[in-house]
Amino acid sequence: MAKGQALLDAYDYAHGRMDYAVTTSAPTEEKVKRGNALKEARQAVIDAIDNPPARTCKWSQDGYYDEDNGKWNTSCGESFYLSDGTPNENSMKFCPFCGARIESED
Ligand SMILES: [Zn+2]
């Protein structure tokens, strides 16, 4: 079973035990609406856990000036200075601005 579905099943089990007494009343339009919204939200959570987007942040240097000064431009719109080497040579794995995995020209 996929990780996201297993997580939600565990939640449902715990929630169901707590809510058993109050869920036996007749369904109303409001309850059905909320139920459908909850179903959509649950599916979004399953999708996000099972298929996380592969986010990357591209770090690059624009020409000699950047290379000489150790300036790296990030694809999320920031810049960062390294005194020596590339992000990879400095063991940097994730962008400190957006949190995505760093992809740089080495
Ligand atoms: Zn970034």
CB 54 within 8 Å of CB 100:
no
The 3-class SS string of 10-52 reads HHHHHHHHHHHHHCCCCCCHHHHHHHHHHHHHHHHHHHHHHCC
> Both 62 and 43 in a single domain?
no
pLDDT band at 52 (very low <50, low <70, confident <90, very high): confident
Rounded CA separation 53/33 (Å): 29
Model confidence at 78: pLDDT above 60? yes
Q: How far is the CA of 95 from the centre of ligand 1 (A)?
A: 5
- The residue ranking higher by pLDDT, 22 or 74, is 74
Mean pLDDT of 29-35: 84
DSSP symbol at 84: S
CA of 88 to the centre of ligand 1 (A): 14
Q: Does residue 4 register a pLDDT over 70? A: yes
Same domain, 17 and 34: yes
> Domain range spanning residue 19?
3-50
pLDDT of residue 34: 84
Which residues lie near ion ligand 1 (Cβ < 5 Å)? 57, 74, 76, 95, 97-98
Verify that 7 and 34 share a domain, yes or no. yes
What is residue 64's three-state secondary structure?
helix
CA of 91 to the centre of ligand 1 (A): 16
Report the distance separating Cα 85 and Cα 61, nearest Å.
12
Considering only residues 71 and 43, tell me which one the structure prediction assigns the higher pLDDT.
Answer: 71
The total number of structural domains that make up the chain: 2
Shared domain check, 70 and 30: no
Phi, psi of 104 (to 5 degrees): -130, 155
Residue 44 CA, ligand 1 centroid: distance in Å: 24
13 and 41 housed in the same domain: yes
Check whether residue 46 and residue 82 sit in a common domain: no
Mean pLDDT of the chain: 85
Q: Domain check: are 41 and 62 in the same one?
A: no
The per-residue pLDDT for 17 is 62
Distance 5 CA to ligand 1 centre (A): 30
Residue 73 confidence (pLDDT) above 90: yes
